[in-house]
Amino acid sequence: MTELVIGIELDLVGSHRAAWRFATHPPHVALNPEHIAGQARHLDEAGYDFLSLRTPPEPGEFPTRNPLIRLSATELAGFLAGHTHNIGIVVDTNTIRAEAFHLANQLASVDWTSGGWAGWIPTIDETPAIAASFNEEEITDTDRLHREAVEVVTAVRRIWDTWEDGAILADQSIPRFFNLERWHNTDFVGEFFTVEGPSIVARPPQGQLVVFGYAGDNLGEGVDVVFLDARGPQEVSARAAAARAAGARSVIQDVRVVLAADSDAAARRLAELEAAGEWNEDRPALLFAGTPAALTELLAGIADHVDGVRLLPAVNDVDIPLLSQAVLPALAERGVHERATIARTLTERLALAPRQNVFALERAAR
């Protein structure tokens, strides 16, 4: 049995739209910075390996009543980095119409502020409302959307490499701050855009952030970790094998979680939630409603097929305490999950080999 990486989605009140109804705090408290920080500190201390944050889709045809309140994920990540120590902080951002240069710099700063614990989920999000927020027509050609996403990932990775190791001399006697042999223009030319200059932010502590992708988006070589698209436990093994065959270096399964002390109560909770609304995101995921012991069984079972799971707690106030107090310790007892004390970065925690700097490779090839 391999060791399982355990990630968790941290949405403001929970991963379900109706979470606020079942929270133990009134809605406005969810926006208190100390409340937000406290949730992340808890996840860090409880031993989760990474937390993930979602960017709001570009605001468009949101209802003006009960909109999904979401802070900007890169800034929220910087804030949580200031409150945590050994937990990965993974942010998703849309790639369509994105400025690769801004993204590369913002994400590099998430890595710096977290001391090497940052990850990135580039997504392909396009709707008429998103297009309207750019005063543009919706792009419906899915092949074109896919090419743009791959291009953004490629460019962002190249920008991260522009400050090679040894780029800084800071020798006042010469005087030179940079070693021009190790500091490079990006010189990226793609189908949709070009990027000329070097990164503004110094190379991230991890060199390259860990890049996650959804199996359905098929973003290719630029992705390190793939979120599988299984919808039932019996599909996990085949989906994992398919993703690995397609080149995934690590695979993770999403699991929506509704917990209670007994399975009837959990089923009642799920029914109440479903009557009140939908899950925040409609991407494929397993859905689990039951006891902590049964969830432990499920996770231990799929640990043979995947490198990790990401848990999507329906209601943070209810589900996170049960996960932390009952599920994580039980997994540790069974040797399925251990607190990440040895890893110094998210790359290490996910047991990924570091990527080589493309400029160093290009020099070696000359």
* Contacting residue, 5, 46, 80, 312, with another protein by CB under 8 A: 80
Nearest CB to another protein, comparing residues 38 and 247:
38
Cα separation, 154 vs 223, in Å, equals 10
Count interface residues toward another protein (CB under 8 A): 83
Restricting to residues 192-221, name those near another protein by CB under 8 A: 192-202
Cα separation, 317 vs 323, in Å, equals 11
**First CA to last CA across the chain, in angstroms?**
44
By DSSP bridging, strand 168-171 and strand 88-94 are unpaired
Nearest CB to another protein, comparing residues 179 and 324:
179
Nearest CB to another protein, comparing residues 27 and 216:
27
Cα separation, 88 vs 119, in Å, equals 7
Kindly report the length of the chain.
Answer: 366
- Among the residue ranges 64-72, 231-239, 250-258, 355-363, the one whose residues contact another protein (CB under 8 A): 64-72
Nearest CB to another protein, comparing residues 54 and 337:
54
Nearest CB to another protein, comparing residues 5 and 110:
110
Q: Tell me the closest approach of the beta carbon of residue 121 to another protein, in angstroms.
A: 16
Does position 26 interact with another protein (CB under 8 A)? The reply is yes
Restricting to residues 305-334, name those near another protein by CB under 8 A: none
Q: Helix, strand or coil for residue 258?
A: strand
Query: For residue 10, what are the contacts with CB-CB under 8 A and spacing of at least 6?
Result: 39, 40, 43, 51, 52, 53, 316
Nearest CB to another protein, comparing residues 50 and 101:
101
Does position 108 interact with another protein (CB under 8 A)? The reply is yes
- Among the residue ranges 97-105, 302-310, 331-339, 354-362, the one whose residues contact another protein (CB under 8 A): 97-105
Cα separation, 308 vs 296, in Å, equals 13
Cα separation, 341 vs 70, in Å, equals 31
Does position 120 interact with another protein (CB under 8 A)? The reply is no
Q: Tell me the closest approach of the beta carbon of residue 193 to another protein, in angstroms.
A: 4
CB contact at 8 A, 194 and 145: no
Does position 339 interact with another protein (CB under 8 A)? The reply is no
